[in-house]
Amino acid sequence: MNAPRDNATGTAVRAAAARALTPVLKEQGSLAGLDETGVAPRDRALLKELCFGTCRYLPRLEALAGELLRQPLKKRDQDIQALLLLGIYQLLYMRIPAHAAVGETAGAARLLDKAWATRVLNGCLRRLQRESAALQAKVDRSPGNALAHPTWLLTALRQAWPEQWRALADANNHPGPMTLRVNARHGHRDAYLATLAEQGMSARPCPHAPDGITLDSPCDVTALPGFDQGRVSVQDEAAQLSAVLLGPALAPRPGARVLDACSAPGGKTAHLLEQFDVALTALDSDNERLGQVDSTLERLGLNAELRHADAAGQGDWRHADFDAILLDAPCSGSGVIRRHPDIKRLRRPADIASLAGLQARLLDNLWPLLVEGGTLVYATCSVLPEENADVIRAFLARTPDARATTPDDVAWGQVSGDGRQLFPQLESHDGFFYARLQKCARPAAPADAEGYAAPSSPGPVTDPR
């Protein structure tokens, strides 16, 4: 990436990046709502690269910052810490001229009303230029630093996936590709590939998702042919497989009742409606994010019943007649770190057990709403078994009328307990877990010696933690 065209622009975009990163460093915010309006349009791509790239390598950058600073910066100066991390990232990972990376990053301290920090930043970054090889070799003695992952997460990956953990970490450190989902109501994927080729946009079909296309180079959505008309959406290939798994339960049943229990931002909701003629209820506990579902459906010309409610709670949305339920459960996001690299700072080990408890409660609360013979697909964008195979194993053990029907003859992912685990792949799909469950007739209660059957009881609900 080229340097900004003038010093004033360069310092402004770096100051904006520092302001955006400061809440992340304080664990008080994320990059999800990155505000790009404060910089010139020509610099918005640079702003995003600075912020997301710095978070992507944050553990390693922080270790290097610790070597460069004579003493740690005060808590009130986390914005200066952010500038230092941004400067290190530029020098080591971007093709920005060193003089711009150093001078404009240090100069940005003045825009943060901390002119005193320019000398500190200059000194640290120039030292990194002189001693780069030695300093990097020193911090990389720690695998967590070398692979740019928090130690706890790297340990969890290694324990769960002893053969894949290094490839997992490597994939997390590379931006994911831009993948599209062609709206089947507007035509076939091959036709859209031809349209892209006519526009000079290179792309290839996804190997597993029948409606998926991966672009060779990302672009603004406004450049996608037919985007405003609902012809195509942006969605990772792994996320598109939820519709594939629910297909056998929905394809022969026009008007089937479907519940998307944690629907925001609406990609999977829309995909189901594009594929199947169903009556869909989209539920989400975050009203603002539910608005995103509404906007998505409006652009695509689709309709669903939107309900603001907690899928782990009660309410008048509960009807025991759903033919299918999609539970895309809240999770650690450990399979999509490459798209949300601030997870490396914001997620904590204790979160995993807490999330597993929530996932168990969601399953227990939603299962009674499924008709006999109905299908529930459980999904997470996690690669940690505690949120995936372990949760499903415990649920099946305490739920007599549930059986796993996850297919074992598909070409994607690998068997993980009663589900399938996908790992993030370079230039391909994200990390995801799926398990498909069917509701069967509840086994008859055993009769006693006099021939009387004991009353049916669901039994205690146990926490899989």
214/346 same-domain check: no
Any domain includes 164: no
Helix orientation angle between 7-25 and 44-56, rounded to the nearest 10 degrees: 40
215/287 same-domain check: no
- The residues carrying an active-site annotation are 381
283/430 same-domain check: yes
Band (pLDDT 50/70/90 cuts) for residue 464 is: very low
End of a domain among 127, 147, 167? 147
CATH number of the CATH domain containing 53:
1.10.940.10
Any domain includes 170: no
Sequence-ordered list of residues with C-beta below 8 angstroms from that of 180, at least 6 positions apart, any chain? 192, 203, 212, 213, 214, 215, 224, 232, 233, 234, 235
> Is 322 within 8 Å of 355 (Cβ atoms)?
no
Nearest by Cα to 330 from 363, 370, 288: 363
Quick: pLDDT tens for 127-142.
999 999 999 999 999 9
Quick: pLDDT tens for 341-361.
999 999 999 999 999 999 999
Alpha-helical runs (H) found in 251-348: 267-275, 287-300, 343-346
**pLDDT for residue 30 is more than 60:** yes
> Is 25 within 8 Å of 345 (Cβ atoms)?
yes
Any domain includes 364: yes
Place of tokens 């070398």: 146
452 versus 269: which is more confidently predicted? 269
CB neighbours (10 Å) of residue 186?
Answer: 16
Band (pLDDT 50/70/90 cuts) for residue 28 is: very high
Any domain includes 154: no
User: Nearest 5°: phi and psi at 100?
Assistant: -75, -40
189/331 same-domain check: no
Place of tokens 């069967």: 440
CATH number of the CATH domain containing 378:
3.40.50.150
CA dist., res. 362 & res. 360, Å (int): 5
| pLDDT at residue 88, rounded to an integer | 98
251/195 same-domain check: no
Handedness of CA 87, 92, 96, 97 (dihedral sign): positive
b or e along 357-390 (b: 16 or more beta carbons within 10 Å of the residue's beta carbon)? ebbbbbbbbbbebbeeebbbbbbbbbbbbbbbbb
**pLDDT for residue 461 is more than 60:** no
| pLDDT at residue 444, rounded to an integer | 58
229/244 same-domain check: no
404/319 same-domain check: yes
251/230 same-domain check: no
CA dist., res. 256 & res. 249, Å (int): 9
251/400 same-domain check: yes
| pLDDT at residue 403, rounded to an integer | 98
- On whether the pTM is more than 0.75, the answer is yes
| Proportion of the chain above pLDDT 70, given as a percent | 94
**pLDDT for residue 146 is more than 90:** yes
Q: DSSP E strands: which ranges in 146-195?
A: 179-182
What range defines the domain where residue 62 resides?
7-147
251/218 same-domain check: no
Across the range 284-296, mean pLDDT stands at 96
Any domain includes 458: no
Any domain includes 449: no
414/286 same-domain check: yes
Band (pLDDT 50/70/90 cuts) for residue 179 is: very high
> What total number of domains does the chain contain?
3
410/366 same-domain check: yes
CA dist., res. 193 & res. 200, Å (int): 11
